[in-house]
Amino acid sequence: MPDALLDLQDLGVQFPDRNRPGGVLKAVDGVSLSVAPGEILGLVGESGSGKTTLGKTLLRLYEPAAGKILLQGKDITHLDEAALRPHRRAMQMVFQDPLSSFNPRQTIHTAIATPLLLHGLCSKAELPARIAAILAEVGLPADFAPRYPHQMSGGQLQRAAIGRSLALEPQLIVADEAVSKLDVSVRAQILNLLRRLQAERNLAMVFITHDLHVARFLCHRIAVMHFGKLLELGPTEQIFENPTHDYTRALIGTLHDLPA
Ligand SMILES: Nc1ncnc2c1ncn2[C@@H]1O[C@H](COP(=O)(O)OP(=O)(O)OP(=O)(O)O)[C@@H](O)[C@H]1O
């Protein structure tokens, strides 16, 4: 895909196998896929299928054993930290557990201010207004800035985590089970927030989830992973209505057993 934001080509990631001393586990095995600007790509598959490993590797948090990662056509697969720095801004991650993704001794203000100052995106004088604008964008009042993580609910904190990731104006967010720890009503609010951000900012996302309801609601296309391999990839309705693989059919079959 020539105008892809992100292009993964035959990506492989290996770990020492925890169950076989001396053995190698192919956590991601020959995965090729691309993400267009503003596209939400869902990564689904059962536990251990390699979703998180793929997400972390495309962000260059893990070193790939094989293949290529192209960001806006630039090969970032083996760039060192210094060369990677300008590209890091373009891709941010939102984790499952917002509490553990914040430093408990830092206020929300400091957590959002730090990357802004580090990347020279804002002067100290501009910080309060900038942080208030970021909080407003994720539906939090400005007076949440002086709060510490433990003074916020899970949903409020996930909003703050999304705000922090937006501070650097990324083009792509990798969200790893970002709503799975939230209550159902809060989950819907955060999903709507992600949808709005995608539409307003043309923000692309790799949305990792084991929840097929969530994937169907949010994602434009869905990639199904199985034992580190990409089993199939297609528009969301096609995956749900006309899956090619028995494994996908079985995965979707479980959807009918889940509460809506
Ligand atoms: N740091 C690591 N060292 C060794 N093995 C790892 C490491 N991280 C992941 N693995 C293994 O790689 C495989 C893929 O794991 P991964 O966490 O990417 O899967 P997942 O689909 O995200 O699963 P889950 O939904 O449970 O998070 C698993 O077999 C896992 O045990």
Q: What confidence score (pLDDT) does residue 256 get? A: 56
Q: Where are the beta strands (DSSP E) in 136-203?
A: 172-176
What tens digit of pLDDT does each residue of 191-239 get?
A: 999 999 999 999 999 999 988 989 999 999 999 999 999 999 999 999 9
Cβ contacts of residue 257 below 8 Å, gap of 6+? Answer: none
Q: What is the mean pLDDT of residues 174-203?
A: 92
The helix-helix angle for 154-166 and 127-137 (nearest 10°) equals 120
Residue from 13, 14, 15 whose mutation best tests the ligand 1 pocket (most atoms within 8 A of CB): 15
Six token digits for residue 131: 């942080």
Expressed in angstroms and rounded, the spacing between residue 25 Cα and the centre of ligand 1 is: 10
* 32 vs 41: CA distance, rounded Å: 13
* 104 vs 110: CA distance, rounded Å: 11
Residue of the CA atom closest to atom 30 of ligand 1: 48
Does ligand 1 come within 6 angstroms of the Cβ of 30? Answer: no
Q: What confidence score (pLDDT) does residue 195 get? A: 95
Lowest mean per-residue pLDDT among 82-96, 112-126, 243-257: 243-257
The answer to whether 104 and 149 are in contact (CB under 8 A) is yes
Does ligand 1 come within 6 angstroms of the Cβ of 15? Answer: yes
**Homologous superfamily of 6-90+170-257 in CATH?**
P-loop containing nucleotide triphosphate hydrolases (3.40.50.300)
Question: How many CA atoms lie within 13 Å of 42's alpha carbon, on the beta-carbon side?
Answer: 27
* 159 vs 193: CA distance, rounded Å: 8
> Among candidates 72, 90, 74, which has minimal Cα distance to 6?
72
Residue of the CA atom closest to atom 31 of ligand 1: 48
Does ligand 1 come within 6 angstroms of the Cβ of 44? Answer: no
Lowest mean per-residue pLDDT among 98-102, 123-127, 217-221: 98-102
Q: Where are the beta strands (DSSP E) in 57-129?
A: 66-71, 74-75, 91-94
pTM of the model: 0.93
Mind giving me the DSSP string for 94-106? E-S-HHHHS-TTS
Q: What is the ipTM of this complex?
A: 0.96
Q: How confident is the model at residue 255 (pLDDT cuts 50, 70, 90)?
A: low
* 46 vs 58: CA distance, rounded Å: 20
* 212 vs 168: CA distance, rounded Å: 30
Expressed in angstroms and rounded, the spacing between residue 210 Cα and the centre of ligand 1 is: 14
Mind giving me the DSSP string for 20-46? STT-EEEEEEEEEEEE-TT-EEEEE-S
Kindly list the domain boundaries of the chain, sorted by start residue.
Answer: 6-90+170-257, 100-169
